[in-house]
Structure 1
């Protein structure tokens, strides 16, 4: 880790990030965030939640070095074939966590930056803590048992839970399997997993800050703060694992709720998970039919007028203490160098 950290610091001193920023100046960068929390450690459960201090440092840098624009404005320019401003960058959040309102939004307002939050509408105004992906992580990371047997794809898998690494491997395997299931079967499998695991540790205040969702009142308040909203499905289901009827419901229900609660059109979508195998031509066609004009993925890279409007590329920003790691990510350098915390 020390060697890799030194490499990233050295690349910064050599001006590599500055050069790559200039090289991609005619393309738009779209960043993906999930959570920003004032408490919490660097554990696996917090991997997608930045510290407030690091988020503030990142926003200050972006304010100085990029032309920050809203996602609706970027989409409008792409649709109209209008030129993009040099160094265009968009800030987005997936899921709709309460910490977006309580921790991230004040920092965005401090620097007068626009952002878009994609809402998983079934959980807005809900007392539930965490999406199904996080409920699975919580079960496996806080289980008091040393292992369990869990059926996946028709075969019983024996999952070790003795070490931190064991639990991370188990979380990745189980979530990967559950992402391929339709919502009803997924919930049944999670209930079975919870039954097999039995006792887990209780939620504490720090975890609640990480997992609580927004209310519609908070969403409406943020509309006044240069923050726009899009759809992230209704239940955070992976589009490619749904039937056509299920996919239609996820998109239409989410869009309807957002439009009725906010009194504004919902025309931009974010694919849950967002990898190339998580959506396809059927889903793009359905988005078009329902009136969506663009969709963001988690395909890494930069965007210009040649980019598919229904597969806009984003760079995911995960929790990390090294600011040079962030610079490597947004410059595109990270895709060429392996770096792990």
Structure 2
């Protein structure tokens, strides 16, 4: 059991959430979401759980947009118990399920758009892997690059993670070749456009949501791992996304979101290119002691269906556990 879980299990019945919230009131929680679905769908966050999470945030915390948080921090008027809600990618379910719930609760989120996806030019490579695994009649197969036999009947989720993790380690063009070979191995025909469950939000839907307070940032054009691109490809991903957002939405976005967003997915060179492309901030996908310390490495907490983990993040127990681990 982790320090975080131990503190939560012992302390929650004794009022630990209230105490932790007070102790961590100066620590902003920037939350990261991806998908929200109707209850019972096997992928993404349940809309019922998401609604409960938004209600808890709105009831007891100071909810800001990411732009507002950055402005307040820059101005030296840092708000206590600040919470920011962000979404990555730009799936259709953001407009169908997630945004209506947040609008109802008076929460204005930030959506980081993968512009090639929203523009209808492509669909996201992790979804291509998921679709292949979900639609094959092959139960067991081997992949030389992973050096293991994968059994979809026993653990399809493990297979998806192993294959996706491998794709994170190779160059973008190599990934495309690998995924095509996966489809051949699994005897599945790859759709040219995203299937219904993997379709994007439309530009028109984004425009309408912006009228109701939605903030928009860039999540690249095609969602590659930026450290796996050459200089020309990297520059193109950053500038093309920014320019398309300006063209379609008439806003100049200042904030970039690293695809995948882990420590190995960006470096100082990538940060330099992000800055050169005209962005002033960039967000990652992992938490840290001071999430606003580096403008090009703002830190976020990943949120899922687990309400215990949500409470730990929201009330500061995760931050206290991180602080304790750093002090060991």
Task: Note whether the superposition's TM-score is higher than 0.5.
Answer: yes
Tell me the alpha carbon deviations over residues 257-286 of structure 1, each in whole angstroms, 9 at most, x when there is no partner: 001111111110111111111100001111
Tell me, in whole angstroms, the C-alpha distance in 2 between the residues paired with 1:104 and 1:286. 32
Out of 157, 174, 179, the position equivalent to 1:190 is 179
CA distance in 2, matches of 1:234, 1:8: 40
User: In the alignment, what sits opposite 1:114?
Assistant: 108
> What pairs with 1:117-128 in structure 2 (closer than 5 Å)?
117-126=111-120
- Structure 2's unaligned 5+ residue stretches are 323-328
Residue 274 of structure 2 corresponds to 287
TM-score by length of 1: 0.85
Give 1:1-341 correspondences, 5 Å limit. Answer: 8=8, 11-41=11-41, 43=42, 46=43, 49-78=44-73, 80-126=74-120, 131-152=124-145, 157-165=147-155, 167-199=156-188, 208-209=196-197, 211-301=198-288, 303=290, 307-320=293-306, 323-334=307-318, 336=321
- Give the Cα–Cα distance (whole angstroms) in 1 for the partners of residues 113 and 97 of structure 2: 17
Count of equivalent residues: 316
Alignment deviations for residues 218-264 of structure 1 (CA, whole Å, 9 cap, x no partner): 11111111111101111111111111211111111111100111111
Mark the CA change 1:83 to 1:40 in structure 2 (over 3 Å): closer, same or farther: same
1:292: Cα distance to partner? 0.6
1:145/1:120 Cα in 2 relative to 1: closer, same or farther (>3 Å)? same
The offset of 1:19, in angstroms, is 2.0
Aligned residue for 2:137, secondary structure, equals coil
Q: Distance in 1 between matches of 2:296 and 2:142?
A: 40
The structure-2 alpha-carbon separation of the partners of 1:88 and 1:7, relative to structure 1 and needing over 3 Å to count, comes to closer
2:183, 2:190 within 8 Å by CA — same for their partners in 1?
no
SS across alignment from 2:220: coil
Q: Does the residue aligned with 1:85 lie in a helix, a strand or coil?
A: coil
Task: Give the Å deviation of 1:146.
Answer: 2.4
CA spacing shift, 1:67–1:303, aligned 2, 3 Å: farther
Question: SS state of the match for residue 295, structure 1?
Answer: strand
TM-score of the pair, normalised by structure 2: 0.88
